[in-house]
Amino acid sequence: MKKVSLFLIFAGLLFWACSKQGKNPFFSDYNTPFNTPPFEKIKEEHYLPAFNEGIKQQQKQIDAIANNSEVPTFKNTIEAIENSKPLLTKVRNVFYNMTSANTNDELQRIAKEVAPLLSKNRDDINLNEKLFKRVKAVYENKDKLNLSVEQNMLLEKYYKDFVRGGANLDEEKKGKLREINKELSVLTVQFGENILKENNVFELVIEKEEDLAGLPETVITGAAETAKEREHEGKWVFTLHKPSMIPFLQYSEKREFREKIFKAYINRGNNNNELDNKANSSRIATLRVEKATLLGYKTHADFVLENNMAKQPENVYELLNRLWVPALKIAKKEAKELQDMIYKEGKNFKLEAWDWWYYAEKLKKAKYDLDDEALRPYFKLENVRDGVFAVANKLYGIQFVEITDIPKYHEVVKVFEVKEADGSHIGILYTDYFPRASKRGGAWMNSFRKQSRQEGKEVTPVICNVCNFSKPTGDKPALLSFEEVTTLFHEFGHALHGLLSNSTYKKLSGTSVLRDFVELPSQIMENWASEPEALKMYAKHYETGEVIPQELINKLKNASHFNQGFATVEYLAASFLDMDWHTLTEAKEYDTLEFETNSLNKIGLIPEIVVRYRSPYFNHIFSGGYSSGYYSYIWAEVLDADAFEAFKETSLFDKKTAQAFRKNILEAGGTEDPMTLYKRFRGAEPKVEALLKRRGLR
Ligand SMILES: [Zn+2]
């Protein structure tokens, strides 16, 4: 009786929802090529009803699992939880890709409304006593269940999720945890939104032509185009978007303007206005202290790292310290060289952070006769992209075919079907490479659909790469800096991890691996970007088609250790700062800037180098998923440097090595312990030597 009336109310609501909004695309099959999202049909008003309905459906499923009268089994409990949220996953996958890559005020508003709902939904599951009892029963019985390696891993993960989600707490503490989670969910969204806005607000308007001194022609053309877009026609505008700011810092002879744009960049979220993130940083860190204490951990970092390869904060600090000492020494030497250059020019000012890029570029030219701008013509975006496709083809036999008659969320997006050598379908890849106001900074991979198997049927992945690269300017195509080339290869490596995934369960699929393992597939790809054999495949002059001359390749190679002290120190300092924020034990209000200064003074960071992310714009740790995890990049670099040696020992495109990497790392995703997987690929645990050599730290 109750069931029926509930159903009628539910059906009535759904009908009302449909008639009000037209057909909500999330409530039916997509009916598109490869079942990709029908972006042109998805309107802003569709998200919230789909979230609400998705949560409702999941809770119904969860209730059914918790109240099941049968004995708990892997299938009726663990697999059932795994499959309890098809609608919620469907809407989330689209929504969070849009709030990252193509957002607007309305989507941001919805994000803030949805965050506490999702937080509550997660807590309702984790803190559901009946449900946990069943999960625990399966877990305690696991040795008798004859589970596969992958099933064992899934069980382990769910059990841990519950325990780490507070399932063992008493009622009072559960209530407190809910409050913390709710507040965190909103604050972290707000943090990211403030940075997005801060990124767009600032503009450096140049009015006089002489103030463009030193800037390359393409940079000037780009700035004139930006000025036109921003209603400063006839002037030149530089923004905090990397493709605009970095060349300005590298080439502008106007020191006062370099200072202005640099200071604007490092003060994002620190302007004492409505976008200020200082209080948010401190509050988020404090809430994390409270949560860790509640769950019985010494610190938030202990809580996070328990689940990573590093296991505990001491291990992270140990690696960071080991690299910090030699890196700082080199950075100081680099600073001195730059200072000498200033004196040699007959100037007597002290080198400042906003001078570093400019003089480093000059020094590189003097020492190696290498100029970033001279390389760009060989790195036309399309050539680089086709190059990385060709590399993947040589390694894994896979092919990329562009599709044009498929929905896209923005006109600049390109879509590719990814196929095996025999033509069978693997998945879909979207590429979205240029900055715009609706996109957050940085570069990332994400999925619109993760690979999995549903009742034996293959669900194929839909993956995207989103970046902020140099745009076409004037009559020139998009010509990338070498750093952007490397980033393209990096993100593509993540994409391969998602595309080649071969897992039954979404929770273990593709990039769903430990945080300090996830950068292995991406960082290893960067190696191919700079190998001469690969460069000759893709680095072709955009006008003449001429292959990059050996001479230029040699220069690139000779300069590969150039400025590495700076890059390593800038990065490591951010990793220390992250760890310091998350090894706090006292839940109180912190003066964010004072805390940061103390943290960086402790390691002896020199004033000429600013930490890569200052606290008020450290999105990775206060808004993304990298809290006590920013060290992962260097951790994974130990792995990727060692892993790439396997190709060096054989050949750059060695089929057998590639096959072993694909099978043990890319396909395996999170289905097994990462070190087990790594050893199966490499035959031994990784050694740190390859990394030290690569970074010139020995
Ligand atoms: Zn990455």
Q: In whole angstroms, give the CA distance from residue 414 to residue 258.
A: 35
Q: Tell me, what's the pLDDT at 439?
A: 96
Which residue shows structure tokens 């559901």?
Answer: 128
Query: pLDDT digits over 289-341, tens only?
Result: 999 999 999 999 999 999 999 999 999 999 999 999 999 999 999 999 999 99
Q: In whole angstroms, give the CA distance from residue 559 to residue 555.
A: 6
Selection from 498, 482, 514 nearest residue 377 by Cα:
482
Q: Is the pTM of this model over 0.85?
A: yes
CA of 696 to the centre of ligand 1 (A): 22
Residues 6 or more apart whose CB falls under 8 angstroms from that of 475 comprise none
Which residues of the chain are modeled with pLDDT < 70? 1-22
What region, left, alpha or beta, does residue 413 occupy, with left being phi > 0 and alpha being psi -120 to 50 degrees?
A: beta
CA of 632 to the centre of ligand 1 (A): 9
- Cβ atoms within 10 A of the Cβ of 195, count? 21
Q: Which of 198, 361, 491, 608 is catalytic?
A: 491
CA of 493 to the centre of ligand 1 (A): 8
- Residues 611/597, Cβ–Cβ less than 8 Å: no
- Residues 421/415, Cβ–Cβ less than 8 Å: no
CA of 379 to the centre of ligand 1 (A): 21
Q: In whole angstroms, give the CA distance from residue 17 to residue 11.
A: 10
Phi, psi of 448 (to 5 degrees): -90, -20
Burial of 460 (0-12, 13-18, 19+ CB in 10 A): middle
> In this structure, which amino acid lies at residue 535?
L
Phi, psi of 447 (to 5 degrees): -120, 140
Cα dihedral 660, 663, 669, 673 sign: negative
Take residue 372 and report the two structure tokens written for it.
């970033």
- Cβ atoms within 10 A of the Cβ of 507, count? 20
CA of 660 to the centre of ligand 1 (A): 21
Q: Tell me, what's the pLDDT at 372?
A: 83
> In this structure, which amino acid lies at residue 224?
A
CA of 633 to the centre of ligand 1 (A): 8
Selection from 141, 149, 135, 143 nearest residue 82 by Cα:
135
CA of 494 to the centre of ligand 1 (A): 7
Q: Tell me, what's the pLDDT at 5?
A: 41
Query: pLDDT digits over 150-179, tens only?
Result: 999 999 999 999 999 999 999 999 999 999
Phi, psi of 632 (to 5 degrees): -55, -35
CA of 376 to the centre of ligand 1 (A): 23
CA of 592 to the centre of ligand 1 (A): 27
Longest CA pairwise span in the chain (Å): 90
Q: Tell me, what's the pLDDT at 339?
A: 98
Q: In whole angstroms, give the CA distance from residue 543 to residue 533.
A: 21
CA of 140 to the centre of ligand 1 (A): 36
CA of 645 to the centre of ligand 1 (A): 20
CA of 100 to the centre of ligand 1 (A): 15
Residues 6 or more apart whose CB falls under 8 angstroms from that of 52 comprise 117
User: Measuring CA to CA, how many Å separate 228 from each of 224, 225, 249, 263, 420?
Assistant: 6, 5, 22, 24, 45
Selection from 184, 161, 163 nearest residue 296 by Cα:
163
Is-catalytic flag, 70?
A: no
User: What is the C-alpha R_g of the chain?
Assistant: 26
